[in-house]
Amino acid sequence: MPPKREYDDARAVGTPAVSADDDQMTTFSLHSFGDSDDDNHGFSIQIIENMREEYGMFVWPCSVVLAEYVWQQRSRFSGTSVIELGAGTSLPGLVAAKVGADVTLTDESKRVEVGGLILFVLENIRSVCDLNKLSCKVMGLTWGIWDAQIFDLHPQILLGADVLYDTSAFDDLFSTVAFLLQSNPGSVFITTYHNRSGHHLIEFLMVKWGLKCIKLLDAFSFMPSGKASGLGGNIQLAEIVLVG
């Protein structure tokens, strides 16, 4: 398993809705998009988080940023096929589903040493879909592993929130992204990440796998002030495609 992510600012999440349970340390956070009073299309997404488990069960700041971008680009997502990589709590993918995309939520498919954590993450994804009354496909997907089911995926948009955090996984991630983009010409990978020291490795691997960045935004350039105030660090959003 990649190392646990640590930030100067712990997490940027929505409004806690339920107090944590002593045994499971489970809590709920509520994330709102648009103005439900003035905008007929506004809505909220409720996320189940587990404070005792590892990073897969938290809503990290990059996830909040990517979900907001999906909301702001909702007309672009409606009716499209979307896959979220390393979905975890799945906030961006759930927003995409809410605005009319056909969404597949994926996370690590291998069992890990920490008490079957990944199995629990996948089950949590299914529970969050049910909680929000959204029909999303949920599947295990290990970057760099070519299981039969990956050949049936044909996304128009790939999403990945904070998937660029462990440099040892970068090559497997970009090989998977390149394969999925090749399966549907014209598709795009949209990712949010903290601008860290691995920037040069990212550039190298993008060249290696025939990828290029066509849009790069600072999160603060499009985040609403109320959400931006809770963010920490330098978060960027990139849109990546195959080299033509």
Give the start-to-end residue ranges of the domains of the chain: 15-242
Q: Is 220 helix (H, G, I), strand (E, B) or coil?
A: helix
Percent of the chain clearing pLDDT 70 (strictly above): 80
Which CATH architecture does the domain made up of 15-242 adopt? Answer: 3-Layer(aba) Sandwich (3.40)
Residue 18 CA from chain centroid, whole number: 23
Estimate the crossing angle of helix 117-131 against helix 91-98, to 10 degrees.
30
Write the pLDDT tens digit of every residue in 166-182.
899 999 999 999 999 99
* CA gap 211, 213 in Å, rounded: 7
**pLDDT for residue 18 is more than 70:** no
pTM here? 0.87
In this model, does residue 218 exceed pLDDT 70?
A: yes
